DNA sequence: AATAAAATAACACAACTGTATTAATAAATC
DNA sequence: GATTTATTAATACAGTTGTGTTATTTTATT
């Protein structure tokens, strides 16, 4: 009877348009009208998929973490633990255009999360998720390299986690000072200094 | 002839009021009217000190880095290099209310800097300044601990710098997961793992 | 006390915001 | 082809925004 469109695809299309607006003009310019124009839709049409702006923004933030998770889950390990760990950790660095977009948008949302409970909750959830993920990798590395038996798993995990986010921020904010290869080099340097002794 | 007020003091008062609004309601709520209300002034009065909103925001961001620099410069070293380095690096972590305020506000401005050339320039300047500062400390530590002769100064500097900013972000965003003492503990752990071998 | 200038306040204006309401369009079934 | 309904578009409205203009208040000098 009606014109049928894939609801979820349309929602993702709007979310990606939201990303573009945020990246180009900033989160405070991500108004319904600007997003609608970017997506080539009318404001009224958008309300069919998101009854409120907060919903759209929350969905757009969620989509970032979903995309990263998807890539992590579809990754097939090579068997070389160090290489594999390096590979998945690089998923969290802005090493190419796709990842840069995601990181910049995530950064903008993270900042807003400080004063927005809904976004705050999502941010916390992702923090726990990523920390658990990194902790697992640290444990595997410690187990493999017998010399690491005296390492503190908790401290090593938070150290590695903070290092990654710090590198990501620096690479995003000042790409002319920290290019992807350098960020990657620091990460390799860090892992080797701990697990290759 | 006129009523004379200390221009700079008044500007700082407005900037600090801006901080409060940003911290409580977010940067997008930092309108002239809201800031004026927070400072107990009229919008017209503000325009006497800042002819535009951008000026006020840029000044408010600058004031954050000024405050941190002031504290760093007024610090008198104890002589114990490791202790002193730890102390100054903790100036960049949200370990108390004053520093938390500054970090949160700085974080908000940093996010906006991605789409605001003026703030971007300030952010870059501070990045270079801090990196130079940290590099100096790393060199001193390497020099003192002879075992560190094989360390790469550049990599160690960016690693430490990223670690600090990463810890700061985590402590700001999720204070219930990373309390100040833990952030400090990670920093100590990092420094000792490199320079106490 | 008079005055000149600095500081403050009040109001106006056009542009933008989120959202609600209403009308028009499109497509899948009968 | 008519009809039903999901989808899209258009308009309206109250609230907020930055900024410009104008008037008022305050105070240090004469």
| Number of domains composing chain A | 1
* B10 assigned to some structural domain: no
Give the residues of chain B that fall short of pLDDT 70: 1-4, 146-149, 197
pLDDT surpassing 60 at residue A133: yes
pLDDT surpassing 90 at residue A195: no
The helix/strand count (H/E) of chain A reads as 9, 0
B111·A108 Cβ contact <8 A? yes
Residue B184 contacts A where some CB pair is shorter than 8 Å: no
A167 to chain B: which residues are within 8 Å by CB?
A: 158, 162, 166
Picking from A169, A170, A148, the residue whose alpha carbon sits closest to that of residue A81 is A148
* A163 assigned to some structural domain: yes
Give 3-state DSSP helix, strand, coil % of chain A, rounded to 5.
75, 0, 25
Q: Give pLDDT tens digits for A62-71.
A: 999 999 999 9
Residue A180: per-residue pLDDT: 95
Reported confidence tier of residue A3, pLDDT bands at 50, 70, 90:
low
Q: Which domain holds residue A161?
A: 61-195
B21 to chain A: which residues are within 8 Å by CB?
A: none
Q: Give pLDDT tens digits for A9-41.
A: 889 999 999 999 999 999 999 999 999 999 998
Q: What's the rounded Cα separation, in Å, for the pair A172 and A183?
A: 11
CA of A46 to C1' of D5 (A): 18
Rg of chain B on CA atoms, in Å: 19
B177·A123 Cβ contact <8 A? no
* B15 assigned to some structural domain: no
Rounded to 10 degrees, the C-alpha dihedral A28/A33/A34/A38 comes to 150
Q: Give pLDDT tens digits for A72-128.
A: 999 999 999 999 999 999 999 999 999 999 999 999 999 999 999 999 999 999 999
CA of A53 to C1' of D2 (A): 38
Residue B101: per-residue pLDDT: 97
CB B41 within 8 A of CB B10: no
Q: Give pLDDT tens digits for B132-153.
A: 999 999 999 998 886 666 889 9
Strands of B49-123 (E only): list them: none
Residue A61: per-residue pLDDT: 98
- Tokens linked to B93: 């972590």
CATH number for position B133: 1.10.357.10
* B16 assigned to some structural domain: no
B109, exposed or middle or buried, with CB in 10 Å at 0-12, 13-18, 19+?
buried
Q: Give pLDDT tens digits for A143-172.
A: 888 666 688 999 999 999 999 999 999 999
A124·B165 Cβ contact <8 A? no
* A157 assigned to some structural domain: yes
What length does chain A have? 197
* B9 assigned to some structural domain: no
* A65 assigned to some structural domain: yes
Q: What's the rounded Cα separation, in Å, for the pair A61 and A70?
A: 15
- Tokens linked to A154: 């908790």
B117 to chain A: which residues are within 8 Å by CB?
A: none
B62 touches strand C (CB under 7 A): no
End-to-end CA distance of chain A: 68
Picking from B37, B29, B91, the residue whose alpha carbon sits closest to that of residue B64 is B91
* B185 assigned to some structural domain: yes
Question: Among residues 122-161 of chain A, which lie with CB inside 8 Å of chain B?
Answer: 123-124, 127-128, 131, 152, 155, 158-159, 161
Residue A107 contacts B where some CB pair is shorter than 8 Å: yes
Separation in Å, CA of A189 to nearest CA in chain B: 7
């Amino acid at each position: 009877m009606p014109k049928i469109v894939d609801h979820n695809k349309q929602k993702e299309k709007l979310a990606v348009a939201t990303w573009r607006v945020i990246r180009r003009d900033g989160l405070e310019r991500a108004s319904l009208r600007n997003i609608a124009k970017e997506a080539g839709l009318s404001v009224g049409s958008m309300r069919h998929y998101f009854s409120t702006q907060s919903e759209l923004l929350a969905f757009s933030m969620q989509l970032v973490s979903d995309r990263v998770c998807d890539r992590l889950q579809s990754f097939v390990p090579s068997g070389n633990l160090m290489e594999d760990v390096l590979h998945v950790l690089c998923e969290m660095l802005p090493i190419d255009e796709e990842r840069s977009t995601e990181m910049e948008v995530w950064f903008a949302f993270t900042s807003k999360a400080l004063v927005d409970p809904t976004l705050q909750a999502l941010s916390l959830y992702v923090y726990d998720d990523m920390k658990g993920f990194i902790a697992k990798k640290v444990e595997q590395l410690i187990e493999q390299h017998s010399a690491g038996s005296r390492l503190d798993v908790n401290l090593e995990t938070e150290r590695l986690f903070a290092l990654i986010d710090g590198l990501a921020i620096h690479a995003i904010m000042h790409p002319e000072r920290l290019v992807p290869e350098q960020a990657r080099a620091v990460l390799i340097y860090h892992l080797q200094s701990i697990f290759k002794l």
